[in-house]
Amino acid sequence: MIQNVKKILAPIDFSPHSMEGMRAAMELAKDVGAEVHLVHIIAPHHTFIPLPLATSGEQSRELAREAAMLEQAEEELARLKKQEFGDSKKVLTFAVVGHPVQKLIDYAKEQAIDLIVMATHGRSGAEHMLLGGTTEKIVRGAPCSVLVIRQRKQ
């Protein structure tokens, strides 16, 4: 089954956990000759503040904030690709604004991703309930297999 993996998606939020997941995805990709898609999703504030309640000035500021964050994410992804992977043609980068879980699932479908490799914080209980369990939602909704990398105990 792992020999058939040609495209691996590695969601990245630039945290140490996601960097660990990215490195695991790259190791696996080297072993099977797959390409890696590094994807960063910027969650919009209007997810939390309904836009109909926002003024046009607030909407303009939010759009400007999102555009700046998108540009910054694209620059960071390009830097990571060059620094960590020597600008390999087997590494593709993508950044977009949207609901992280849905955008990752949509990207996996659109790009015919074979495997998603992502790290988890390993939270449980109330902390898990408050933070929503993004990894769990991806596992449930993904159109492909998901490999979850747990944080190593120090």
**pLDDT of res. 65:** 86
What are the pLDDT digits (tens) for 39-60? 999 988 754 455 555 567 777 7
Return the structure tokens found at 36: 């890696």
Report residue 140: phi and psi, to 5°.
-70, -35
Helix%, strand%, coil% for the chain, nearest 5 = 55, 20, 25
Q: For residue 152, what pLDDT band results from cuts at 50, 70 and 90?
A: low
What are the pLDDT digits (tens) for 126-149? 444 444 578 889 999 999 999 998
What pTM, to 2 d.p., does this model score? 0.82
